[in-house]
Amino acid sequence: MAISNSMKFTIHTLIDVTKTDVRRHEHPKLVNQQANFNTLYNTLGLRTNPINFIVTQELTALQKYKFGSSYKNKQRVWTIEFEVEADYSTAEDLMQLDFNMVPIIAGLDETINLENKMFVTSDEIFTNILFLQTDK
């Protein structure tokens, strides 16, 4: 069944949220990456049912993003594209509230030094996750 009225969003983050589908401890790094992905997905799931997830990452210059001022030059950025089935079940400002200070596992494939091991959504210096509605 096709969804005709879904809303589309993009998240950019400097935190490694790679979806590995690994859940056992034979590969601790892959387990931790999946744990961060689960944290992201479950935090979104507090308000809505996110679907059609696409996670990519690239090493890129940060000037096109509005991350905190402590993050400069080229960094690894994870981009998550997804849709929500129920219109207005979430929004950029709601995601900012929900994600702020949610703990994460650091020391994976991030290229930044994290002051604190958490998502930061609204700090001029340390913001490491951004939210955009892409179908406006």
Whether the per-residue pLDDT at 1 is higher than 50: the answer is: no
pLDDT of residue 4: 52
pLDDT of residue 38: 97
**CATH T-level assignment (fold) for domain 7-133:** Alpha-Beta Plaits (3.30.70)
pLDDT tens-digit readout, 73-127: 999 999 999 999 888 889 999 999 999 999 999 999 999 999 899 999 999 999 9
Cα–Cα distance measured from residue 77 to residue 129, given in angstroms and rounded to the nearest whole number = 9
Q: What is the pTM of this model?
A: 0.93
Q: What is the mean pLDDT of residues 16-43?
A: 94
pLDDT of residue 115: 81
Cα–Cα distance measured from residue 7 to residue 27, given in angstroms and rounded to the nearest whole number = 36
Residues present in the chain in total: 136
Q: Which of 73, 53, 57, 70 is nearest to 13 (CA)?
A: 57
Q: Which of 56, 41, 49 is nearest to 99 (CA)?
A: 41
Establish how many alpha carbons lie within 13 A of residue 97's alpha carbon, considering only the half-sphere containing its beta carbon.
7
CB neighbourhood size of 62 (10 A): 17
pLDDT tens-digit readout, 46-70: 999 999 999 999 999 999 999 999 9
Write out the DSSP string of 13-44.
ESS--------STTSHHHHHHHHHHHHHHHHH
Encoded tokens for 104: 């994460």
Please give the DSSP secondary-structure letter assigned to residue 62: G
* pLDDT grade for 24, boundaries at 50, 70 and 90: confident
Please give the DSSP secondary-structure letter assigned to residue 69: T
